[in-house]
Amino acid sequence: MPKAEDYEHCPIEIANLEWKAKANKNNRDEYNLSLEVAIHPNNSGKIIINYPGLMGDREGFNNKHKKLAQYMQGEGLGAVVRTQGPGYPAFERFTDDVLLRKVLSYSL
């Protein structure tokens, strides 16, 4: 049975997403936001988004998210897009779904 280590050679692309956003509709202030995502390309036509929980790291503890993404990529299950989870200070004025919505719009 294949293991995640079998796919360590698979390519990973890093993209830095930058955009401006308002914290809420009543606030006129715009904030510059940025988010780094890791992309594991694949030709299956499917996209898998890895969005960890609160304060979750993109790589995961002991690289668990990265290893899982490499496995899914190598097995042809789909392209995997990994990002950090909500709760980081740069996004404290925003709802937790802001990061996920940005990753989804970028991926599609």
Q: What is the pLDDT along the chain (108 residues), one digit of tens a residue?
A: 666 667 778 889 999 999 998 887 777 888 899 999 999 999 999 999 999 999 999 999 999 999 999 999 999 999 999 999 998 888 888 888 889 999 999 999
Sequence-distant (≥ 6) Cβ neighbours of residue 100 within 8 angstroms = 49, 51, 86
By DSSP bridging, strand 30-40 and strand 79-82 are: antiparallel
Q: Taking the model in full, what pTM does it have?
A: 0.87
